[in-house]
Copies of this chain bind each other. A is one copy, B any other.
Amino acid sequence: MHISLQALKAFESAARLGSFKAAATELAITPTAVSHHIANLESRLNTDLFHREVRKITLTPSGEYLSQNATSGFKLIFAAIEQLSQANNQVRITTTSSLAALRIIPALEELNNAKPHLRLDISTSETLDKQLHTLPVRLGNSEEVNKADIIKYERYDMFAANAQQSAPRLDKQVTLYTSQWKNNALPAPPLTQWLKINNLSDSCFKVKTFDQELFGINQVLANKGAVFCSKTLVQPYLDAGLLTSFNNQEVESKLCYYIPEKSRFETSIHKVVIEWLEQLLT
């Protein structure tokens, strides 16, 4: 007994819409074809699926049962196809608020001009949806993650608003913003090493922490103290002359941005986006 999938689909539509005609419209065929399909299905299953009433069809118990299962089944299948189709020109990047706000979102317009066909959207939700086209850019420990996945090693330094004209005065305590990650597994910002390299004592600073670098950077832009953070994040502000590092020496950190299982993203669209990201963070 070989049942036809097209007949099943016709039945599913007709059952859902309650009409052969409506089903025919949905499937872009004639009502006659739907009628044929369903008659065929009924004879093969050896059971009635619809009661034929005047200008109206109603499901038999068997029809009801098959309809429910067919509808859920086809829904699953076509939703996946829909995803695949969209994946052809859509990429969603999920990443930290800071990287999104300070680097990616400001660069989006330029990307959009360069690749107008590409739909890129950004998500900073923690609950990473395992959508097909979602590209996660995470902050991680460069000693632990796969080297090939890393797109940017993080270097740290202290920055303050250029408006201050000079290095923060060390004769009175300067407020220094830095980060304390919610995720304990992440290496802390290398503040101690940086102080040592630059021959500074932590007594010079009143350290305040946020769980996201973004907040400290915003404080500093508002001319409130200094921030010890990843150079990657403030690069545009350095370039624009809004922030400066006052010739202190920057330090390496164990932190890096990486894309888990980067090599898995092999469709052309993903490659384009990854390449763009790598270039952006160079």
Interface residues of A (CB under 8 A from B): 1, 3, 5-6, 8-9, 45-48, 60-62, 65-66, 68-70, 72-77, 79-81, 83-85, 87-88, 132, 264-267
Contacts and interface: CB of A to CB of B under 8 A. Distances in A.
A267 B81 contact: no
A47 B79 CA distance: 16
Given A62-B132, A132-B65, A77 B267 contact: no
Contact of A80 (B1, B5, B69, B75): B69
Given A65-B83, A70-B77, A72-B73, 4 more contacts: A5-B6, A62-B84, A66-B81, A69-B76
A61 B6 contact: no
A267 B8 contact: no
Given A61-B264, A73-B74, A76-B69, A85 B132 contact: no
A72 B76 contact: yes
A83 B87 CA distance: 36
Contact of A9 (B5, B48, B62, B76): B5
A91 B281 CA distance: 68
Contact of A66 (B6, B75, B84): B84
Contact of A84 (B65, B80, B84, B266): B65
B62 A70 contact: no
A87 B62 CA distance: 9
B132 A84 contact: no
B65 A70 contact: no
Contacts of A9: 5
